[in-house]
Structure 1
Amino acid sequence: MDKPLVTVIVPAYNASDFIAETLESILNQTYDNLQVIVVDDGSTDDTARIVQSYSPRVTYIHQANSGGCAAPRNRGLEYARGEFVTFFDADDIMLPDKLSRQVDALIRHPNAVMCITNYCNFTGTKRSTDHMSTCPAMVPYLDRHKSSDFTLGSEECRSILISENFTIASAPLFKTDIIKKLGGFDQTLKACEDFHLIYRTAMQGDVVVNPNVGFERRLHDTNMSNDNERMLRNLIASRHDLSLNETNIVLQRHLKHRVRRYRRDLQTCLVLKKQLSKALKLYGETFPPQSISDLNHDVRQGIKIALHGIAPGKFPDRQH
């Protein structure tokens, strides 16, 4: 039987320091029926020259900067010809058997909508333990199945994702037709768009999990997750949207609980940044408190805001 074509889409922005290493790791996969697309999201460095040096094995597409990862990923999806598709960050390293294991898993589990692989983080030469083993809800599955694939039912997978996000953008291999049917990534999100798409995909059917480390995620100062306020606002937006579309009442309630918690976290973040009027306005979205922890949080933040001298009806933002 012919190997199904796999499309690998790499969004890149000023990625010249790492893009060659990333592309080498993709092109050196043991699975060789690949379509590799790099979408340059308005880079101003040497990204274009480096990527074009890999032609014709790699297709280079340029677009104006979009300010996020969703738009370049969706642009690449327009050109995807593979039966399966994966989105791989321009600074991650794909281990040699990642795609072969994932394709094999999806062939053996034809009802699954995607295969999610494990990963580890690295900085320089230091590598962390695998990510899934740090997720308490995943540990029983790992202990039971060791290094073998296992399947999560649709609702089972979504429940775990809400409680502890065990995956990121570079991990899944999707069925392309399903991703295109879903419209790809939500471009209104400037972070958490990967969780949003993975969750929506899990709503379409079973999910296969490969517990082996399939790639290494590079951590450095420019990682988008370092912007706490931006992450919290997108955590709120992504989970709120999912709660509106979630058909399972219990999972819908869990998503709404997450939104309330993230709003309280955002309030704390804004108080620390002295953006006090914005922090005060969040009380309307989190009141009334639903637990002793919520009540303690509200009291602490209220005291901090009061100590900064905000009079009723006056909400000056104090930014440093």
Structure 2
Amino acid sequence: MTQPCSLTVIIPTYNRSSYVRECLVALRASGVPDLEIIVSDDGSTDDTREVVAATNPDAKYLWQPNSGTPATARNAAFAVSRGRFVGFLDCDDEWLPDAPARAVRHLDAHPEVDALFAESKMGDPQEGYVSWIESAGQEAFFRLPHVEPEPGFRVLERGPFFRRMAVRNPVFIGATIVRREAFAAIGGFDPQLCGAADWELWLRMAHRFTWAYMAEPLAKYMRHLDNMSSNHDKMIAEFVQSLRNVLTKCPLSSFDRRFIRTQLRAHLFSHAYLAYDRGDIAEARTRFRRSVRAGDIHPVTLALAAFCQLPGALARRVRRLKHTAAPGGRA
């Protein structure tokens, strides 16, 4: 039988060998003596394999044909991992010195917690770094019901955290460590998703399991132009699918089902409006129909759906009203 270790970190990558090298070097200061490192390569054609072998010969290297999403690479690495706890670190991000070890100690001390996420530093070396949680969590996160068994360690009440997660994701994947049993029980990442695969997984886990927040920064989130989250249209499409998954996969209460459907309608409208705003009326027509079928009968939605059926002068006249029909003005 394979001997377990304290913590596994799974690093998905695709043709980013220079990032992989920096990520592996930073992990030397994790503070976890038996850290298992798995680099899960989604079909790279560069020198990633050689870089891993040269930088950390003890790291496991997995290669698979390109799937187009890190979700499959993460799931494949989990299947061969040994850690009691598992973290997921994109190769262009870094763990901070000794913070992973402190996260493991928190989880060992609090068996009621199934998943832990932490503060992170977001930015880049040129522009500097800001707080992740102040941007992604906002004030609403800090008002969530919780208990604080240790200073800087909050155990969050499940229902309010799930609903806050559905509104805005406060969890950075690179600063998240989960119990092996919880990840296995929830079924891993959805391989049909790419940039929103983590949010969809966190939603399912937040509905079923208990989360905690560690105020000490665990990771650096590097912002650059090729971050997957930079493709706004694709991300909103994945947000829509994620919420549909939650409605299908989670045994929601009637209150939570209504709440998730409300969030779904908001994302469907935003997705439709993006197509409308860039002048792709045919695509907007299809998307607004979906929004209305999902129960969005807001006057702005109905007006834009009607507009997308009409060409010519009338279309140009209605488009002049688009600024009053922006997503932020529907309340």
For the criterion TM > 0.5, the same-fold answer is: yes
Structure 1, unaligned runs of 5 or more: 312-320
| Paired residue type of 2:246 | L
Q: TM-score, normalised on structure 2?
A: 0.85
User: How far apart are the structure 2 equivalents of 1:106 and 1:20?
Assistant: 29
Q: Which residue of 2 aligns with 1:138?
A: 141
Report if aligned partners of 2:292, 2:301 keep a CA contact under 8 Å in 1.
no
Residue 317 of structure 1 corresponds to which residue in structure 2? none
Q: Give percent identity, aligned residues only.
A: 23
Q: Relative to 1, partners in 2 of residues 1:200 and 1:43: Cα closer, same or farther, differing over 3 Å?
A: same
Tell me, what secondary structure is at the counterpart of 2:224? Answer: coil
> What per-residue deviation string (whole Å, max 9, x for no partner) do you get for residues 247-270 of structure 1?
222222121111111111111111
The equivalent of 1:169 in structure 2 is 173
By how many angstroms is 1:308 displaced? 5.4
CA contact (8 A) 2:265 2:296 kept: no
The Cα shift of 1:144 comes to 9.6
Number of residue pairs aligned between Structure 1 and Structure 2? 308
Q: CA deviation at 1:154?
A: 1.9
- Supply the AA of the counterpart residue of 2:224: H
Instruction: Say whether residues 1:220 and 2:221 are aligned partners.
Output: no
Residue number among 250, 258, 268 corresponding to 2:273 in the alignment: 268
RMSD: 2.7
Matching residue of 1:112:
113
Q: Deviations over 1:42-87 (max 9, x none)?
A: 1122222211213432111111111011000001001110100011
Relative distance call for 1:304 and 1:125 in structure 2 (3 A) is same
- Tell me if 1:255 matches 2:260: yes
For normalisation by structure 1, the TM-score amounts to 0.87
Deviation, structure 1 residue 139: 2.9
Aligned residue number for residue 277 of structure 1: 282
1:295 and 1:199 mapped to 2: Cα distance? 30
Aligned to 2:128: 127
CA spacing shift, 1:270–1:105, aligned 2, 3 Å: same
Partner Cα separation in structure 2 for residue 129 and residue 142 of structure 1:
25
**Superposition pairs of residues 238-249 of structure 1, within 5 angstroms:** 238-244=242-248, 245-249=250-254
**2:169 aligned with 1:182, yes or no?**
no
Residue 42 of structure 2 aligns with an amino acid whose one-letter code is D
Contact 1:147 1:210 in 2 (8 A): no
What is the match of residue 7 of structure 1?
A: 8
Structure 2, gaps ≥5 residues long: 316-331
| AA partner of residue 30 (structure 2) | Q
Q: Distance in 2 between matches of 1:155 and 1:14?
A: 40
Shift of the 47–162 alpha-carbon distance from structure 1 to 2, 3 Å rule, reads: same
Distance in 2 between residues matched to 1:77 and 1:143, nearest whole Å? 30
How far apart, in 2, do the equivalents of 1:45 and 1:278 lie?
37
Q: How does 1:193-232 map to 2 (within 5 A)?
A: 193-232=197-236
Say which structure is richer in helix. Answer: 2
Deviates more, 1:297-306 or 1:202-211: 297-306
**Structure 1 residue 310: Cα displacement:** 10
CA contact (8 A) 1:11 1:72 kept: yes
Shift in Å, 1:273: 3.8
Structure 1 residues 131 and 144: alpha-carbon distance in aligned structure 2, compared to 1, 3 A threshold? farther
Aligned mates of 1:6, 1:164 — CA distance in 2: 28
Cα pair 1:120 1:127 within 8 Å, conserved: no
For 1:162, the aligned partner's letter is: A
> What are the Cα deviations for residues 263-300 of structure 1, in whole angstroms up to 9, with x where unaligned?
111111112343322211223322279789x4235435
**What is the SS of the residue equivalent to 1:186?**
coil
Task: Please give the alpha-carbon distance, in whole angstroms, between the structure 1 residues aligned to 2:302 and 2:92.
Answer: 40
Helix, strand or coil at the partner of 2:173: coil
My pick for the range that moved more, 103-112 or 146-155, is 146-155
Structure 2 counterpart of 1:268, which letter? Y
Mapped partners of 1:186, 1:308: distance in 2: 42
